[in-house]
Amino acid sequence: MKLDSLTILGAGIIGLSVAREARLRGLPVRVLDSRSFGTSCTHAATGVLKAPEHRRSPYLDLRHQSWEEWPQLAEQLKEESGGIDCGFRICGGLDLRDRTVQDPHRAMEKLHGSGGNVRVLDQKELKRLLPEMHREPQAGIYIEHQAVVDPGGLMEAMRRSCLGMGVEIAHDLGEISLGIEEGHRVVRSSVETPLPPIDEKNPLVLSAGWETSALINPALEKPLPLKPVRGEAIALDIPAPPHIVTFDAKLADVDDPSGNRSRFSWIPGPGGSSWFGNSVGDTGEGKETLPAPTATGRARLIEAAISFFGPGVESRIVRHWAGLRPKSLRQGGPLMGPIDTARTLWIATGHYRTGLLIGPKTAEWLVDSLTGKSEIHDNFSVPEEFRI
């Protein structure tokens, strides 16, 4: 069906990527956000993009495709936004995780699927590359296919690109909800704003990050399988590493059978800054719906940073921030596609820890499906039991 317009709730990386993609195909697009620009989870990201080790599942394949398309996307955004550099740079990574250090050659075998150069580095090379490191790992692995992007720069480039193409973007609209009036779905906002009709020719995309569930759950029998997972990071006044450094730090208060919570990254941030974050940051403080940084999160980051840089690193923290990542609770990646049989309401969320990497690619798929070009892979579509 030929659409007349598209309305999107949520102006994070997902909402803006969908807006850009739809506008590139000629659709009139409007994006509404309840908060101000700069407060989304996307702005709290640490900007790491990694090619996965293999592509043996639809989600890993999506990550691979996204990785391959990122260099071109960065170029296009620069052109469309009038010259804004989103900071995309293939900087490579150093894997210093415990298992890797114990048996680097075995670990390296698994990494060839990432597509680039992979090689073992000895202690001498590691010391030369990372003079600030207090540890003395015997070996590590260099992985070429890892990159950084500046999340703030990316969002500004996306925003300008959208505005330049005529997308209407409205921020600070306060509480936005969905309702039904005279049998039709409507968008309600506490700030007076001209709100669009929602019907088959003018569908609505919900890309409000983890808060997408608050928008849609009142209309569902079963709540959307989505939850917020906190991530926290700090900036240090330590010279930036030449590559993204990934290592393990066993934390005193964290039981970590999967090895996820003990994994930390030291990242070359924008403008030569040093960023430091962990892979999963739930603090268990009962503040899982507040995006503010926590004392527990800070203490864990400091503990890990001390294990890497040595004592005294606490005094070198220049910023501490947090964000709530939208985690899809069913296996296999984000939740995308129509949620009602009339195909008027669409979901685009659940990108969890890889929204910057895969967000633009999934936006392309969503718009393909909206415009009838192709359907979304079963792995990523909204399961039947959660549809209206």
Residues found near ligand FAD in the complex (CB under 6 A): 9-15, 32-35, 40-42, 44-48, 176, 207-209, 211, 215, 231-233, 277, 323, 325-326, 349, 351-357
Nearest approach in angstroms of CB 4 to ligand FAD is 21
Q: How far is the CB of 281 from ligand FAD (least distance, A)?
A: 7
As a whole number of angstroms, the distance between CA 300 and CA 171 comes to: 34
* Short-list 212, 174, 169, 218, CA closest to 192: 174
Least spacing, CB of residue 265 vs ligand FAD, in Å: 8
Nearer to ligand FAD, 104 or 268 (CB): 268
Q: 377 forms bridges with which residues in the sheet?
A: none
Find the shortest distance in angstroms from Cβ 39 to ligand FAD: 6
Q: Which is nearer to ligand FAD, 104 or 344 (CB)?
A: 344
- Closer to ligand FAD by CB, 47 or 270: give it: 47
Q: Which is nearer to ligand FAD, 5 or 125 (CB)?
A: 5
Question: Nearer to ligand FAD by C-beta: 46 or 262?
Answer: 46
Q: Whose CA is closest to 380, among 362, 367, 364? A: 362
Instruction: Name which of 3 and 45 has its Cβ closer to ligand FAD.
Output: 45
Closest chain position to ligand FAD (CB): 12
In the complex, least distance from residue 124 CB atom to ligand FAD, rounded to whole angstroms: 30
Q: How far is the CB of 31 from ligand FAD (least distance, A)?
A: 9
Closer to ligand FAD by Cβ: residue 34 or 344: 34
How far apart are the C-alpha atoms of 272 and 292, rounded to whole Å? 25
Q: How far is the CB of 128 from ligand FAD (least distance, A)?
A: 26
What separation in angstroms does the CA of 170 have from each of 3, 4, 125, 349? 21, 20, 50, 20
